[in-house]
Structure 1
């Protein structure tokens, strides 16, 4: 049986040469142009939104509930991602990685742990809202803050455990000024352990999107149908519940669907078309670029906080000066109105008492 042709360059993916080890590692090409501005925007918006959210959670919310605790953990997950991005931006702008093997491992660990934690915590928030609306008497709704803390700890353990092995391997590719810190850029990896780790990563990328997405859609549809059928509360209450579900689903689709699709593409090519290096190169580049959308969730998550927590929403509105003035004007106008009404009542009473002797 004739051996499969091997390739060693990225610029000419269809020219077989002797030796080599399958398709070549993918260098910085498309992502070097697209990702730096995208990641810079992610960092700026994410830091502003999450610092405000953290300040509100820490100083403005006097009474916490399980939902608030879940959202607070989502803020922590976002900060993990934001901490990892500056090094990645620097590497993309330079064209190579200069921070060494140890920082490469930590950087990749934080990047992928954030994705998993954000997906898991948003799913928990949606499930919590589902039980609150559809099953108000379920014991799940009697969850204490201590139990919510255990749930949050379990979620962190669940999402971090599969990523811990990433810290045990060297992910540096290339030498000198061509050094890159990537996790899945070639067929021929340094060891069988890396190959297994990359395969597990691809499986997790797909599974941790498909299952939570199905659960989110189920919760959204059930909440909508339940409120509409029973006509519970005012229409604005139904709209608020649906806005929360729509916000989480929208963040899910925008931030995580592209990476899932491109990962499946790489997986299919790697499994069924191992000789098609051009397709492998294209989908790998698209996968790396789509990671920029993963980190966009750190900037969009404050929208989830606004729709998911009435306490957070009120605290945020309290920070807006015009809202404060409106509240004060409303209170003063209501106070003036009530005073005027009391004066009119007393005036009518006086007139009635004056009119009685004349009768």
Structure 2
């Protein structure tokens, strides 16, 4: 919902000047465009051309990279707009630009949540989740997420995205208070609950249960040195989610309350309009940080990226074993703490996660 939400103002009433945001956006969007384009194109190249084995986690990560690239390709238009403070590209491109931001922010949260749930199932319920963690089910989930975020993006663009004055045309700015009360506030609350609060709760719950499972003696004995890699994976995942998305969505909610006069305060509006450009820029950088998740989540991705070779054959072997195989039983017993492994030396790698 991005610039759609907080670029509209009450300047006449509270005397707020947030013009610093234009220069800030130009710098941040330029960096995000270059870094995000390179890292996400490289990630897609690895997923599509280097990795031989494509499991459900890889499918989630591929869709996450695609949602990042949609936002990256829209950044040149935003950079031009913030330099000139004028939108010459028409109403349609303005709507696409605003929709791309929503697709990236909330698509990233949903796909990161899917990766978190998949890791939870693999570690906490590895045996019972075998029938659930399939490529077919992952593809269905990805399709539903795209329908949800694209539908949300389209709902934001139902009204005119551009506003024309005597000398300039703005994109997603200067919405009236009536528009906020009758339309934007309801969309904002819905997006905040469905697109932010629910994924946040799921991520925190899954991560806490994974950490609790890793503390079990049987699990610690089997994980060995790999435990540190799993912990780094969880920390990186939560850090990206909390740092990029929590501040932005918190400020967004406060400003929506101010604009609808549910919280009538110039001080709160001034605070929100000051913090919003900063939190938006941090959120925009998620397209650069997401490849870090790929690196820590998939061992095959690491080896494909660094050596040009993929351990797809090994990963396929691990995932295709029958439920009654000794390795699968050992893995299940280890993670669930049912009993110790028969050989006491086999280690679980993050490839399973």
Whether these two folds match at TM > 0.5 is yes
Deviation by residue 1:222-270 (Cα, 9 ceiling, x = unmatched): 1111112134223322222222211111011121112112112213323
User: Which of 142, 145, 150 is equivalent to 1:155?
Assistant: 145
The within-5 A match list for 1:274-289 is 276-277=265-266, 279-289=268-278
Match of 1:63, SS state, is coil
Is this contact kept in 2: 1:220–1:246, CA < 8 A?
no
Per the alignment, residue 112 of structure 2 pairs with 122
Per the TM alignment, residue 178 of structure 1 is displaced from its structure 2 partner at its CA by 3.1
Per the alignment, residue 295 of structure 1 pairs with 284
State how far apart, in whole Å, the 2-side matches of 1:11 and 1:306 are.
45
Instruction: Report the number of matched residues.
Output: 300
The within-5 A match list for 1:125-136 is 125-136=115-126
Per the TM alignment, residue 128 of structure 1 is displaced from its structure 2 partner at its CA by 0.2
Is this contact kept in 2: 1:56–1:312, CA < 8 A?
yes
State how far apart, in whole Å, the 2-side matches of 1:254 and 1:238 are.
24
Per the TM alignment, residue 175 of structure 1 is displaced from its structure 2 partner at its CA by 1.5
Per the alignment, residue 233 of structure 2 pairs with 244
User: Which of 2, 6, 20 is equivalent to 1:30?
Assistant: 20
Give the structure, 1 or 2, with the largest relative contact order (CA under 8 Å, sep 6 or more): 2
Is this contact kept in 2: 1:223–1:242, CA < 8 A?
no
Per the alignment, residue 101 of structure 1 pairs with 91
State how far apart, in whole Å, the 1-side matches of 2:297 and 2:198 are.
21
Match of 1:136, SS state, is coil
Change (3 A) 1:173 1:206: farther
Match of 1:125, SS state, is helix
Match of 2:216, SS state, is helix
Match of 2:157, SS state, is helix
Change (3 A) 1:240 1:280: same
Q: TM-score, normalised by structure 1?
A: 0.76
1:40 aligns with 2:30: yes
Change (3 A) 1:219 1:11: closer
Structure 1: 5+ residue runs without aligned partners?
Answer: 1-7, 16-25, 321-359
The within-5 A match list for 1:1-359 is 13-14=13-14, 29-140=19-130, 142-182=132-172, 185-189=174-178, 195-205=182-192, 207-232=194-219, 233-272=222-261, 276-277=265-266, 279-319=268-308
Per the alignment, residue 331 of structure 2 pairs with none
Is this contact kept in 2: 1:127–1:219, CA < 8 A?
yes
Deviation by residue 1:265-296 (Cα, 9 ceiling, x = unmatched): 21332344665456435424532442222221
State how far apart, in whole Å, the 2-side matches of 1:14 and 1:85 are.
31
Change (3 A) 1:282 1:186: farther
Per the TM alignment, residue 157 of structure 1 is displaced from its structure 2 partner at its CA by 1.4
Match of 1:13, SS state, is helix
- Rg comparison, structure with higher value: 1
Per the TM alignment, residue 68 of structure 1 is displaced from its structure 2 partner at its CA by 0.6
Q: RMSD in angstroms over aligned alpha carbons?
A: 2.7
Structure 2: 5+ residue runs without aligned partners?
Answer: 1-7, 310-353
State how far apart, in whole Å, the 2-side matches of 1:86 and 1:195 are.
32
Per the alignment, residue 340 of structure 1 pairs with none
User: Could you tell which deviates more after superposition, 32-41 or 208-217?
Assistant: 208-217
